[in-house]
Chain A
Amino acid sequence: MSDSTDAVTPEAAAGELRLRVGAFEGPLDLLLHLCRTEEIDLAALPVRTITDQYLAHLEAMEFRDLETAGAYLVMAATLIYLKSKLLVPPDETDEQLDDEALLLKQELEERLREYARVKVQGTWLAQREAEQALIWGRSSSTLPTLEDVPLEDLSVHWLERSLKRLIEEQQRLRPRQIEPNPPSVLERMTEILTLLRDTWSLLFSSMAGGERRRSEVVVSLLAVLELCRQGKIRTQQTELFGDIVIERRTPDPEEGVALLGPSEDTPSAESS
């Protein structure tokens, strides 16, 4: 046991770092995180401190795509611009420009405040969602539909209404049919781990998605493979083409879920 602790510690530390960096949703999220850990009032943003910390975080980050990187860099540029304004002593002739910088700073503060509000609202919605997940209602009804009207009562208006309804129905269905958007592997992984919190094992067929879309099955399979690789689950298939049985592996499932959880819960060992 004693040597295993040694082996685990550096790995855990590295994983923690990656988690913290990857968990930000965007530049505003990162800024808000910095303000939170430093207990900074959003109404009086200390530009010097926040810029330095932001840039420090930026260096540690890896970007998935250019667009995300761009969003972070625009914020960095704004912060550096503001900081440069602070370093230069204000000059009488320069007043116009300082107003500009002040305006920019106020705008940034307002955006941060708005984003903080959105976070609160999002948290509230999450709480509601969790509450609502506990109740079930009828999802489909066998009530006869409007088509069953007696023929003699028909009029052109009915036809028009039916047609309109048909078209609306088509429009409503269209995005689903044309561009099916499979859930992400990460989402499916979280889902599997969540399911495994309540039960010891589950069948692959039961979680491959109700619609039996090929993409759903692929995503599920990838999720299962990834979880296997991470050692979070164990799988077995007793016969050829048989159903795959998925079992929880870690004695402490909370650990696994925390990996994919929101960043609020993540430890924020501070680097200043």
Chain B
Amino acid sequence: MPNPADVVEAMLFASDVPLEAERIREVLDLENAAAARSLVEELIARYEAEPRGLAIVEVGGGYRMVTRPELAPWLVRLARARTKVRLSRPALETLAIIAYKQPVSRPELDAVRGVNSEAVLDNLMERRLVRIGGRKEAPGRPFLYETTREFLVAFGLRDLNDLPKVEGELVIPDLAAEAAATAEAHGQAETEQDPGPGGADLPPRG
């Protein structure tokens, strides 16, 4: 019997979708998903102890073997012209609304953005970042949109809880840091759940 962590490594290499702990448990006939998780942890520790070109990340409800970000320049050179197409600002904002409010209908989307979202939505659907999850029981029975697993993978999120909480701040984004600094100076900051340094709204995920 080979080392189970080696099996997990091979599975991660061979799989093209994030591999769930449950799936690892099933294949290795383990007691529970926690045992599978600890095998992955073991593997991750091994990768960290002896740095190499690959890393194992938790994303989209499973584990995935990926290249290390600092090696990107060489991979870009390897792939010549292949880079990932980035989303436009309207697309990102529409995606944000769907991610936070899902399932959400197009009229609701349009209301938040103040403009028609049809074209942007089509684009997001084609990239499989968004899908139709059902219909809303409202006049016209509009489609309800939700994010996909591809969305989680594309943005490196374990699940939707990885999205940062942006709570009722009354300050405009660009002024946020400034306002926080002023508030701090005057000692009248509304105590929020976490007094982040410099008043940054969104800490890079922990």
Contacts and interface: CB of A to CB of B under 8 A. Distances in A.
Interface of A: 25-29, 32, 35-36, 39-43, 67-68, 71, 75, 111, 113-143, 172, 175-176, 179, 181, 183, 187, 191, 194-195, 198-199, 202-203, 206-207, 262-264
Listed residue (B57, B75, B83, B122) with the most chain A CB atoms within 10 angstroms of its CB: B83
A125 B95 contact: yes
Nearest to A180: B126
Interface string B100-119: 10000000000111111000
A45 to B, nearest CB: 11
A41 B204 CA distance: 26
B155 A71 contact: no
Contact of B81 (A123, A124, A132, A203): A203
Contact of A36 (B57, B70, B175): B175
A122 B166 CA distance: 11
B85 interface: yes
A207 B96 contact: no
B123 interface: yes
B15 A141 contact: yes
Contact of A139 (B16, B57, B122, B169): B16
A149 B112 CA distance: 49
Contacts of A25: 89-90, 93, 113, 115
B18 to A, nearest CB: 9
Given A67-B116, A138-B16, A128 B155 contact: yes
A135 B154 contact: no
B174 A264 contact: yes
Contact of A121 (B84, B85, B99, B174): B99
A68 B175 contact: no
The 5 closest A-B CB pairs, nearest first, are A26-B115, A121-B96, A141-B16, A134-B69, A28-B114
B174 A36 contact: yes
Nearest to B176: A120
B49 interface: no
B1 interface: no
Given A134-B70, A176-B126, 16 more contacts: A26-B113, A36-B172, A115-B112, A117-B168, A121-B97, A122-B89, A122-B96, A124-B96, A129-B92, A134-B72, A136-B67, A137-B65, A138-B16, A143-B15, A175-B126, A198-B83
A6 to B, nearest CB: 34
A116 B81 CA distance: 36
A28 B113 contact: yes
B115 A140 contact: no
Contacts of A198: 76, 83
A104 to B, nearest CB: 15
Nearest to B172: A36
Contacts of B57: 135
Interface of B: 13-16, 55, 57, 64-70, 72, 75-76, 80-90, 92-93, 95-97, 99-100, 111-116, 122-123, 125-126, 128, 153-157, 163-164, 166, 168-176, 201-202, 204-205
A129 B113 contact: no
Contacts of B201: 120
Contact of B173 (A67, A116, A207): A116
B89 A68 contact: no
Contacts of B170: 41-43, 113
A3 B197 CA distance: 50
Nearest to A68: B115
A113 to B, nearest CB: 6
Contacts of B122: 179, 181
Given A131-B69, A132-B154, A262 B89 contact: yes
Given A28-B113, A115-B112, A175-B126, A129 B154 contact: yes
Given A71-B116, A121-B96, A207-B81, A135 B90 contact: no
Contacts of B126: 175-176, 181
A41 B174 CA distance: 12
B132 to A, nearest CB: 9
Nearest to B167: A117
A120 B202 contact: yes
